[in-house]
Amino acid sequence: MPSSYISNHVHIVFSTKDRAPVISEKFQPKLWAYMAGIATNHGMHALAVGGMDDHIHVLVSIPASLSIAKAVQVLKANASRWINEGRRDRFEWQEGYAAFSVSRSIIPRIMDYVRNQREHHKKRDFATELALLLKKHGIEPDER
């Protein structure tokens, strides 16, 4: 077969440094749009971006030329660089991340989930949400 065909959709979740609530609700739409732009500029396609004041969710299609780790690094590095322009206090992301493969058949459901984080967090905090996502995907959480 002379061509390669890739369908690689990933739900990525990462938090602010020490899960500090530093992404204001007013700033969130700008950051979500900027994250989508970063994805586009690096050959990815952001299907949905959302989050809260202490974390972000990105549902993205990643091309064969990028590993998940590189995609996350690109998103985090470029976003933090942009956020830090003109700031006195330094913004940082937490070091780690979670990434879950997404079947094409449930993309609409995950898009809704990512876009409606404010609703979801009326019921549970980020730590509980992440623990449930890890459990659902058969990943044992690191309690550190």
pLDDT at 140 over 90: no
For the segment 64-100, what is each residue's pLDDT rounded down to a tens digit?
A: 999 999 999 999 999 999 999 977 789 999 999 999 9
Task: Tell me what pLDDT residue 122 has.
Answer: 78
- Strand ranges of the sheet holding 45-51, from the earlier edge strand across to the other edge: 45-51, 55-61, 9-15, 98-101
Confidence check: pLDDT of 144 > 70: no
Which domains can be identified in the chain, with CATH numbers? 9-136 (3.30.70.1290)
State the residue for tokens 């500090």.
20
Q: What are phi and psi of 93, to 5 degrees?
A: -90, 155
Q: Please, what is the end-to-end C-alpha distance for the chain in angstroms?
A: 46
Residues 6+ apart with CB under 8 A from 83: 31, 91
